[in-house]
Amino acid sequence: MRRRGDNGGGDETLRFTCDFLWMCQGYYRHSAGYTPDFPGMDRFRGPIVHPQTWPEDLDYSDRQVVVIGSGATAATMIPAMAGDCAHVTMLQRSPTYFYARPNSNEVADMLRELEIPDEWTHEIVRRKILFDQNTVIRRSFEEPEALKRELIASARAYLGDDFDIETHFTPRYRPWRQRLAVVPDGDLFKCIRAGTASVVTDQVESFTDTGIQLASGRHLDADIIVTATGFNLSALGDIDFTIDGAPLNFADCWGHRGIMFTGIPNMAWVFGYLRASWTMRADLVSGFVCRLLNHMDANGAKTVVPRLRAEDADMPAKPFIEDENFNAGYLVRKIHIMPKQGDRAPWIFSQDYETEKTEIPAADLEDGTLIYG
C-alpha cells in the first residue's frame, strides 16, 4: 500500500500482514464513475458532471440541465433538481422500470402507533419488506408479463393517458433483469407531469457547443450535462494480487458460495445482493467467516483454500452473475474480470436470499471443497 506523505513529501510504502484477509470494499470503483466516450465531449462549453464526483460548488439554478441515464441515480437526482433549475431533461437510450410507492412504511407506522416494542417492530417490518421483495422477484421470473403490465399501469396513473408510455417507460427486458428503481411517492413522474422535467428516448450522436445532437436529428440545449451512466465494477478493490510470486487472474477462479475462491488462501470477499439490501448478504458472509475461523482454530488449521473435487472437474463454467439472472450494464461491461460459478453446490452463486439464508449458516465445512493446512 502506498501513502502520500503528510507534509508534501514523496509516497511511502506501507506493509501490512494478516492471517486472514477479508475484502469488504464493495464492488464498484470509488475513485471515478463510468462515463462513455461520447463524441465531441471536448466541444461542450458547460460543465460535464458525473454524480459520483459531484462538485460541491456546482450551481444549476435557472440552468438547462440534461441528465444522461435513467437508472436509480437519475431517478433520484431529477426530482431533487427539478424545482431549482430552469428545466431538467432525462435522456435515455432505452426505458427503465420504475416502481412508485409511498415514501413511508404503513406497517411500521401502525406498529409505532400501537406502541409495539422497537425490537418487535424492526423484525416484523423487516420480514414484511423481505416478503414483498421476494414476491416481486418471484413474479419477475414466473409471471413477468403480468408484473410488467402493473408497473407500466402505475406509471400511466401518474403521467396520464396522453403521455407516450410506450416510448419512454416500456422496457424491452423483463422486470428485474436490470435494476427496478423505486420512485418515492411517484416524485419522478410528478415532476414530468408538472413540466419541470421531461424525458427523451434517443441516442447521443455527439456533444455540441451548446448541448447534445441526437441520432433522430433533434438537438437538446444544455448549460450542464450530467452523465448518470453508471459505475465501474471493481473486483477485489482493483488490487493486483500475487500468490507465491505469480499474478492472480481472478477470472480463472471458481467462487465457493460466492464468498471464497479457488487458488486464493485465507481470503473472503463480501459481495451482496443486487436485488435486495447488500447488508443481508454481508450478515450471512460474516457468519460464515466467523464459523470458518472458529473451525480452523478448533482444528489447529492455519490455512484454508477452496479446491474443486474430482467430481467437480467437468462442471460447465458460468459467469459469476448469469446474464438471464441480472444483466445491468456495469456487469455486462466487466463480467470478464469476475470469477466463475458452477452448476452444483458449493460453486453456485444464486443471488437468492431465501435460499442462502438457510444454506450458508448450515454449510458443511468438511465437504472436501475446503482444504486446510
Which tens digits make up the pLDDT trace of 114-167?
A: 999 999 999 999 999 999 999 999 999 999 999 999 999 999 999 999 999 999
CATH 3.50.50.60 domain extents, the chain: 38-231
Q: What is the pTM of this model?
A: 0.89
Q: List, for the chain, all residue ranges whose pLDDT scores fall below the cut of 50.
A: none
pLDDT single digits (tens) 265-282: 999 999 999 988 999 999
First to last CA, the chain: 28
Find where cell 447488500 sits: 278
* Choices 3.50.50.60, 3.40.250.10, 3.40.1260.10, 3.30.930.10: CATH for 38-231: 3.50.50.60
pLDDT at 13: 80
